[in-house]
Amino acid sequence: MRLAGAGPLATDPRVSLGDGRRVRVLSLRASGSTLHLTMQTEFED
């Protein structure tokens, strides 16, 4: 999945997967050279 050109996560933390699902980013955290993402998958209305 390519996110280039997507809006900032602060304004819309959802990414549509194109198959009726979307992923909502709940949190981002950096620890050293590792990026930790907490996400939730949802079904689009």
Q: What is the pLDDT of residue 10?
A: 61
For the chain, what are the domain ranges?
14-43
pLDDT attached to residue 7: 55
- Span 11-35, pLDDT tens digits: 677 888 889 898 988 888 888 888 8
For the chain, the C-alpha Rg in angstroms (whole number) is 12
Structure-token match 């590792």, residue found? 34
DSSP-assigned beta bridge partners for residue 25:
39
